[in-house]
Chains A and B, each alone.
Chain A
Amino acid sequence: MNEDNYLNAGYSLRSWFFTTDHKRIAILYFASLIFFFFVGGAAATAIRIELATPQADLVSSDMYNRLFTMHGIIMVWFFLIPSIPNTLGNFIVPLMIGARDLAFPRLNLLSWYLFMLGGAVTLFAILAGGVDTGWTFYTPFSTLYSNSYVVAAVMGVFIAGFSSILTGLNFIITIHRLRAPGLTWYRLPLFLWSLYATSVILVLATPVLAMTLVLIAVERVLGVGIFDPKIGGDPLLFQHLFWFYSHPAVYIMILPGMGVINELVSCFSRKQVFGYKFVAWASMAIAAVGFLVWGHHMFVSGQSLLASLVFSFMSFIVAVPSAIKVFNWTATLHKGSIHFDAPMLYALAFIGLFTIGGLTGLFLACLAFDVHATDTYFVVAHFHYIMVGGMVTAYFGGLHYWWPKITGRLYPEYWARAAAVLIFFGFNLTFFPQFVLGAEGMPRRYHVYPPEFQVWNVLSSGGAVILAIAYLMPMFYLGYSLFFGRRATANPWNAPGLEWQTPSPPPEHNFDTQPVVTRAPYQYSPDFKAEPQNA
């Protein structure tokens, strides 16, 4: 680290908090997300400890409801949605396309400030007394009946939404306008295709969420009848508006993870991604069809049977591109030269866990089974397999993969592998029993439950403790490596992407000379060499 890089370019607070360098903004996001991840994780741990016994013993019902609401709001809007795009994406996108920065560096900084402001308002709502509506804010409960800080919480999410919109806009324009010479669309690494698809959803869906949240505040504060039937509103209107955003938001939360997995699988099997164009367009198909499936959250809400039929059909359709991706990752391994470094362990875990999450999604898309399983622990298990087993696993995989680039240090491989294995076991022990609970009919968001469900709840709570410990491990060994880790070379994985063709950590201006791209991505060869994209 003797040469000039973005980390030693300045040490003042001002050089961090007023930076427009995408790499430093990524670090700001990264630090904020660690904080929110542990706040949301602490709530989850408290929930699981409470559920170890059927009766209430740790917290009151009101407190329990506040805990799962806080867990949901923090994890969805302040961890999962910004996780990969705003940290890894912010850092890697300009490097991957051979650019100096994102298209709008100051907008990028503004988006972090909006995110922190939204987070502060939401934390205020939590500290002032909490919110007990669930992260879904269903009306008329949220607008008329809840005695908690609903307006503050929706305003926090509303503000954070603008941060999402700005980031999405920034990525779309960057990928359109700032690609290095020779970097055609079909030469883009697939991580960029998936971030592009994510950004499209961010820009198109988030405004609908913003409007919906404002309508909640309007009904709650001004008493204008929008959702509450007592004053002339329609409660189902809220669900349509909310899920019109929140189902695509699920793809905001998984597409970037899929993008990371392409990079990892290809790098550690030393082989180009099988079926590049199919994987690229599968991301776009998911983004497009993902807008047409929101009604599958409402099969028993009283929407028309015909609407349910159409939404069920579309939900099966949206699963096809996901299946295509899984098959392509598996085929990528065929005749590869596979190295089991920690990022690859995360990638393999992702494929397995995401597939279980995806298949159980089909159970729920299946109308008759959904009548039984919706609003039970089956749904909770399903989306945690996608969100935690999928997205968080991919996040950790990507973090380890790009760690040498971001910090200029190597992480300790032994500990990283141990953590990856422990996360995998802890995760399955936590969430697999919840499938059984849901199939047996235990409703979600239950503070107390009939004693016959206890065995599976105890297993799940035990798994949660292991998972919590496993998630703490990287804090320690990655923190250790920041100061004592071995220095990383520019390209420790011998990968062909442009981000690896500049020193680690990169200089403030990213590249000394403008890279010119001459070939497709992922030109690996089995002998641990690779042809750089710009050679």
Chain B
Amino acid sequence: MWREWLPFWHPGVSPHGDDTDLLFAGLLFISALVLGLLFFLLALFCVRYRASNLADRGDRIRKSWHWEVSWTAASFVGFLGLFVWGAVIYFEIFRTPPDELTVFVVAKQWMWKVQHAGGQSEINVLHIPVSRPIRLVMASQDVIHSFFIPALRLKHDVVPGRYQDLEITADKPGRYHLFCAEYCGTEHSGMTGEIVVMEAADFAAWLAQQMPSNSLAQEGGALFRELGCSGCHGGGSKVHAPPLEGLYGNLVPLADGSFVTADDKYIRDSILLPRSQIAAGYEPLMPSFEGKVSEDQLLRLVAYIKSIGGQQP
């Protein structure tokens, strides 16, 4: 109900949207108090102590330190409270997303390319089911972009050279703005789109309606052979390369004695920078695919390797 006091403010539709809105209202309230007090005092002093007014000016405050200590302490305590409030919600927003429904987003000058796991792809539109946490895996093909959905009170930069996980949940069906919030060149302000939030049944129908020829993983499998990956990582290969079946999501022992979880980031890095993390017991033979595969192809390869994660090597 407090939102009715903010007529220009469309309510957030994500689980933490309410929290962020409440935080905003709290910040506004505290600011209004501080500003109100300040303006009241400024006006009061300016009127009462204007030069032409014969107000009492005797007995001025000479010792100031207890005033100083009081307002310093009051500011500090107030700020500390706001800091904690904002931090708690922040950690809620950027918690590690559950790995249930993954959608890949590739940002490039000047469009958002969306790849659903089933192979459905869309440009500048993202269809998602309502009230279900979605894990976005975002990559940039060129410069830094920023994935911003005001209605979800959510934004994250998409920095080239790495995958960015982000959990998004929308609690109300509808169409919402998607903006690129990080300046990215000529058509920056044209790099906008829509989030379409649908009821679960409608979403399933929409997915089916798209009728992609192949799933993302199948396309990845084709690429896997096309790029020659299967020559070394495939079953009957003579090259001593680690098998990739059953890899995804498990711990990989590295040559330096440490362990790393084989997640999307690890797989992407292993394709582009194979020498940065070498699996224990293998020679660093693999060439880098940096510059040879696009982000679109990379995410298909990741989807393929993920799809064979349940198989036995």
- B-contacting residues of A (Cβ < 8 Å)? 61-62, 65, 132, 134, 136, 138, 140-141, 144-146, 228-230, 234-236, 269-271, 274-275, 278, 299-302, 305, 308-309, 312-313, 316-317, 319-320, 323-324, 326-328, 330-331, 333-340, 348, 351-352, 355-356, 359-360, 362-363, 365-372, 374-376, 436, 439-441, 443-450, 526, 528
Contacts and interface: CB of A to CB of B under 8 A. Distances in A.
A131 to B, nearest CB: 12
Interface stretch (B149-157, B218-226, B277-285): B149-157
B91 A334 contact: no
Interface of B: 8-10, 16, 19-20, 23-24, 27, 31, 34-35, 38-39, 41-42, 45-46, 49-51, 55-57, 60-61, 64-65, 67-68, 71-72, 75-76, 79-80, 82-83, 85-94, 109, 142-144, 146, 148, 150-151, 153-157, 159-162, 164, 177, 179-190, 192, 290-291
B44 to A, nearest CB: 9
A230 B94 contact: no
Contact of A309 (B60, B72, B79, B87): B87
B49 A375 contact: no
Contacts of B23: 366, 368-369
Contacts of B179: 441, 443
Given A146-B185, A367-B86, A324 B291 contact: no
Nearest to B192: A450
A300 B160 contact: no
A301 B156 CA distance: 6
B64 A235 contact: no
B8 A333 contact: no
A132 B138 CA distance: 25
B3 to A, nearest CB: 12
B75 A368 contact: no
B64 A132 contact: no
B93 A368 contact: yes
Contacts of B86: 312, 365-370
A316 B79 contact: yes
B57 A330 contact: no
Given A141-B144, A356-B31, A368-B23, 5 more contacts: A61-B187, A348-B42, A369-B24, A369-B27, A376-B181
A340 B292 CA distance: 70
B154 A230 contact: no
Looking at A230, A360, A368, the one whose CB has the most chain B CB atoms below 10 A away is: A368
A302 B151 CA distance: 21
Given A230-B161, A320-B79, A359-B34, A312 B45 contact: no
A312 B83 contact: yes
A441 to B, nearest CB: 3
Given A316-B79, A323-B71, A326-B38, A145 B185 contact: yes
A439 B39 CA distance: 24
A326 B38 CA distance: 9
A333 B46 contact: yes
22 contacts: A61-B187, A65-B188, A138-B144, A141-B183, A269-B49, A324-B71, A334-B61, A338-B49, A352-B38, A363-B24, A367-B86, A368-B19, A368-B85, A368-B92, A369-B27, A369-B86, A370-B86, A371-B155, A439-B8, A440-B8, A445-B183, A448-B189
